Amino acid sequence: MVGVILAGAVLSGAGVGFASALRAEHKTQAETQGRNKLNLALDFIAEDIREALSVSSSEPLGWTDWEPASNDYQPVLYLEKPAIAPSTTPQRVVYYVVDSAVDGEGWRGSHMIYRSDEPGEKGFPLVDAIAASPTSSCTGGGTEVTAAGLKLFLEGSSIQVCLNGTIGESLKLGTSTRVFVRSVEASN
């Protein structure tokens, strides 16, 4: 009888320890996945900027019908990229920041970043779990553009891109990169 009680106590202690280890592993895994998503989104945005002929933080002259799909979509970056053959018309791309609640259920974090390459279309979600505010540790020169957890610094052909994401309620993840536009036509 004493052996059964002791075995039960040992197994209970081992079970609590195992559950605690699983929770810690889950938290670490969620943080790693969140960091990977932010880094992939940052790489995607950076590559778009590298390919651009021109970059602007405000709607360039001549761009018609590029208003956001609704007032909930805040445009932050306009890119004009080389045409894809056989077309001779340059590609146009707009990045928007959107409150996650606007786009329905299933998204993480308070905001998301959308990318659109069609006038008047909302485009597609690039990354969710974007924080409500940018990280204060990300600084740069030139014109600053901030929307939720996305911060840009446009300075000539150099653009600093900063992303601040969230995991759960309190853990914030920040990442940034400096990108150089292949063309020198970058404006505010």
- Interacting residues of 83 by C-beta distance below 8 A, sequence separation 6+: 89, 90, 91
Residue, of 49 and 168, whose pLDDT is higher: 49
What is the Cα–Cα distance from 119 to 122, expressed in whole angstroms? 8
The pLDDT assigned to 84 comes to 86
What is the Cα–Cα distance from 94 to 75, expressed in whole angstroms? 7
Q: How far is CA 119 from the centre of its chain?
A: 21
One-letter amino acid identity for 23? Answer: R
pLDDT at residue 19 is higher than 60: no
Over residues 23-47, the mean pLDDT reads: 82
What is the Cα–Cα distance from 26 to 85, expressed in whole angstroms? 46
Quote the tokens at residue 35. Answer: 């960091």
pTM of the model: 0.79
Report which DSSP code applies to 64: -
Yes or no: say if 164 and 176 are a contact pair by the CB < 8 Å rule: no
Average pLDDT, the chain: 81
